[in-house]
Amino acid sequence: MPRNRVLVPKEQKRDELLVAAALLLVRDGYEATSMSKLAQHAGVAPNTLYWYFQDKDDLLVAVADRYLHTLLAELGTVTAEPLAEQFHWLVDRLRPVKHLVATVHNRLAVSPVIDEWHTGFHRTLEQVFAANLPHPIPADRRVAEVAAATFTLEGAITHAVDADTTRGLCAIAADRLMTAATAHG
């Protein structure tokens, strides 16, 4: 006689799959995490994953997006801190998933869904950074200034730099943004 299945709401099952995917993607990496391996780890049939995610890139974006939303919610705990401290907090929070950050960058050219997510990620960072500046950066410099800060932080996340260098990079990125905003405010 077949076992009775417990019906799980779609969003709950999707969340369970994302938790399993995040664990495997961080632990084993993108290339080593096949959809079959993920299905086995999550205790579902492989085709079940495709009811929730179009493909592995869609799954990676869902994991990255979930992580981003968690970070943004937690960022509220440090918004009273100077911008350099907020940057340092962000770097510390993203270093454990630096391989996912690198995977996103590696797949930009081959995956439209990842490229679109990454563009949105940068827009989100721009909004977060802008909210902490005394004045807006003029439009003709804003994209370059925010990109400089973002690339500095991404470098601090993905490269093995010591604590003092990390603090210095975060301070330089924050000072540069504050100077750009103050000089034109």
Handedness of CA 48, 55, 72, 98 (dihedral sign): positive
- What DSSP line would sit under the chain, residue for residue? -PPPPPP--HHHHHHHHHHHHHHHHHHH-TTT--HHHHHHHHTS-HHHHHHH-SSHHHHHHHHHHHHHHHHHHHHTTTTTS-HHHHHHHHHHHHGGGHHHHHHHHHHTTT-HHHHHHHHHHHHHHHHHHHHTSSSPPPHHHHHHHHHHHHHHHHHHHHS---HHHHHHHHHHHHHHHHHHHHHT-
Residue 37: is its pLDDT beyond 60?
Answer: yes
pTM of the model: 0.84
Digit-coded pLDDT (tens) for 131-157 = 878 788 888 888 888 889 988 999 999
For residue 134, what pLDDT is reported?
A: 79
Identify the pLDDT of residue 128.
Answer: 82
Question: What pLDDT score does 162 carry?
Answer: 93
Mean pLDDT, rounded, for 84-99: 92
Q: Where are the domains of the chain?
A: 80-183
Q: Indicate whether 102 pLDDT > 80.
A: yes
What integer pLDDT is reported at residue 60 of this predicted model? 95
Least confident of 8-22, 59-73, 165-179: 8-22
Residue 68 has pLDDT above 60, yes or no: yes
Rg, the chain, Cα only: 19
Query: Is the pLDDT score of 11 beyond 90?
Result: no
pLDDT for res 8? 66
Given pLDDT bands bounded at 50, 70 and 90, which one contains residue 1?
very low
